[in-house]
Amino acid sequence: MAQDSQEAAVVRPVADILEQRNAGNSSGYILPKLHSMKEQNPNLALLDIGCGPGTISSTLAKIIPDGHVTGIDKSPDIIPRARDLAEESGVKNIEFQQGDAYKLPFADGAFDITICHQMLTYLKAPWDALSEMIRVTKVGGIIAAREGDLTSECVWPELPGLVKFHKLAGDLIKGGGGTDKGGRQLLSWALKAGVKREMITVSHSTWSYSTPKEKQIWSVALIERVQGSQLRGLGLKLGLTTGDLDEIVRHWTEWAERDDASIAMMHGEIIIRR
């Protein structure tokens, strides 16, 4: 099944938020297994699908200096940025290329570890993408996925502009054929991809922003996004007024400045033993 144009229209979070991601804050659930696999075989091959600016990929590459990481993303525009960021951080054992999660350009069993982060939730047939991840992974390897449940988001204070933004974010994912309840469905998607239950480990973890610096990064990035023509157009199309969009901007600004403000979201995680 191909990723169609409707899916491509989904507005992903902007690059500067994505660039805050790393192995520590986004891949904690696979690190114990990664370290034990590395002890057995230092030359691990790892594939990161939907890598975006590649900050998770490159921090994982640092953990396996004698291994090799491949990052792919369906958007060719992000690839040069991923290459630049990896080079800036001195990571050599990595490559990035454009690729389709439904039709991975790799042979069966090409990787020891195949991961994705915040990718399956945007797809119409995530179980098909999981099947592909399984196909390109060696027997004895692992497939790992971490996806947010947007509906679990806890924001405080609940300013009206933030509530409207939260609804808009969910409508955009659903409008693109994805789901705002991805984390909780990972297990069911893996079963639908044909994996036996006993080969799957489930866990959950969170991200949260509450310090002045974290709130500043989050707020500035979201405001840029809301003021951008693409999201603005989609918001108006989905029933928001220009007044609503202005209120969203005003309330993210106020939120970042308030001492009592925080935001957190829960993620579901699965590790499949191949």
CA–CA separation, 151 and 119 (whole Å): 16
CA atoms within 13 A on the CB side of 213: 1
Q: How far is CA 108 from CA 134, 145, 239, 256, in A?
A: 9, 19, 46, 47
Which tokens sit at 208?
């949260």
**Is residue 181 a contact residue for its own copies (CB under 8 A)?**
yes
**Is residue 149 a contact residue for its own copies (CB under 8 A)?**
yes
**Is residue 153 a contact residue for its own copies (CB under 8 A)?**
yes
**Is residue 260 a contact residue for its own copies (CB under 8 A)?**
yes
**Is residue 157 a contact residue for its own copies (CB under 8 A)?**
yes
Residue 93 has φ and ψ, to the nearest 5°, of: -85, 55
CB nearer to its own copies: give 66 or 257. 257
Q: For residues 206-225, which are near its own copies according to CB under 8 A?
A: 206, 208, 210-211
Stretch that binds its own copies, among 20-28, 53-61, 92-100, 200-208 (CB under 8 A): 200-208
CA–CA separation, 100 and 116 (whole Å): 13
Interacting residue with its own copies among 14, 63, 110, 155 (CB under 8 A): 155
- Least CB distance from residue 259 to its own copies, whole Å? 4
- Least CB distance from residue 192 to its own copies, whole Å? 8
CA–CA separation, 157 and 261 (whole Å): 6
Q: Please measure the distance between the N-terminal and C-terminal CA atoms of the chain and give it in whole angstroms.
A: 23
Residues near its own copies (CB under 8 A):
149, 151-157, 181, 183-185, 187-188, 191, 197, 202-206, 208, 210-211, 259-262, 264-266, 268
